[in-house]
Amino acid sequence: MNILRWLLFPFSILYGLVVTIRNWCYDGGIIKSQSFKIPVISVGNLDIGGAGKSPMTEYLVRLFKGKYKLATLSRGYGRETKGYLLADADSTPAQIGDEPAQFKHKFPEITVAVCEKRVEGIQHLLPNHNLIILDDAYQHRAVKPGFSILLFDYNRINKPRFLIPAGNMREPISGRWRADVIVVSKCPEELTAKAQAYIEERISPLPYQSLFFTSVSYLSTQDLAGNRTDTIIDEDTTVFLLTGIAGPKPLVQHIKKYTSKVVHHNYPDHHRFSLKNISKLADEFSACTTQKKVIITTEKDAQRLFEHELQPVIKYLPVQVLPIGIRFLDNGGQQFDQLVTEYVREHTTNHLIH
């Protein structure tokens, strides 16, 4: 443990005490959690940062859209608004947050809502929906979801499990008991059975919990309008990578499979790109003498590039978006789909869209 962790450790103990008492109160019924008659699926993790919650939420949307009256509900982290809001085609990340803006951009046919108080948000959605997916809601215990999906980032499996602020854990590992399914995300595509067994021992799923392993699936590039471009990257290509996400390392590693020439403009998670940031990117891109060069960003980061003040520069840049999905290892997707689908079917009345 480094010096900073030692200094922060007493605060982590205090934080852990508060979290533990809070969980005891919910577990014992002293503080009530509200359940609902329609299926409510929660996606979340125990630590801070990216564990693949958005790709998992999008996976569930693809699984159920068109079959159910579906809505996603998020807190809307980083937005400048408050209360319950429904997203529309013109909603910006400043209004609804990065992830909800991404969901609405990719799935305009579904309802995307934000609300800090998830109970209130669900109550707004109940009259016109029969399936709700909660994004990043594992610690939001005011709602008792019918089905909880808990994510662990493969790259953090061996990290120390210190609570914040000394570490990255939002709550102790014991909190995993509330999950119906545990998914280890961002795994190498060729994860061995021995490695899987080690991870299973490290997480120690409870007898009623199914454990799955997924890897990141990088899809075809798109322009900012969502049109497929199929940009080819090879060793002669210089990639200017723009990110403001929690864990860009796997993306950098993926691009370096094709070219070693990567200029990474790396910003903190949910960073609001300024005109100065984008102008710096534009200047470096213009100064690059390589014949083959491209600007690549993530789907979440792309949402923040639509801000009005950035358009005088962005409209002249050939920005490419690299979407991601998830792929279940060892053909686990079929079992996962069956578990989630059976829960939704069993808890939905008049479930099909008429």
CATH 2.20.28 fits 237-322, yes or no: no
Predicted pLDDT of residue 354: 44
Are 73 and 132 in contact by the 8 Å Cβ rule? The answer is: yes
Predicted pLDDT of residue 49: 75
Cis peptide before 165 (omega within 30 of 0): yes
Candidates 246, 249, 244; CA nearest to 298 is 244
Residue 255: burial class (beta carbons within 10 Å; 0-12, 13-18, 19+): buried
Question: What is 3-216+327-346's CATH number?
Answer: 3.40.50.300
Our CA dihedral for 288, 294, 300, 306, rounded to 10 degrees, sits at: 80
**How far apart are alpha carbons 17 and 195 in whole angstroms?**
33
7, 258, 276 from 4: Cα distances, Å: 5, 38, 32
| Domain(s) of CATH 3.40.50.300: residues in the chain | 3-216+327-346
Alpha helices (runs of H) in the chain, residue ranges in sequence order: 3-27, 53-64, 93-96, 98-106, 118-125, 193-203, 249-255, 275-287, 299-303, 311-314, 332-346
Which residue ranges of the chain lie beneath pLDDT 70? 1, 349-354
Are 230 and 294 in contact by the 8 Å Cβ rule? The answer is: no
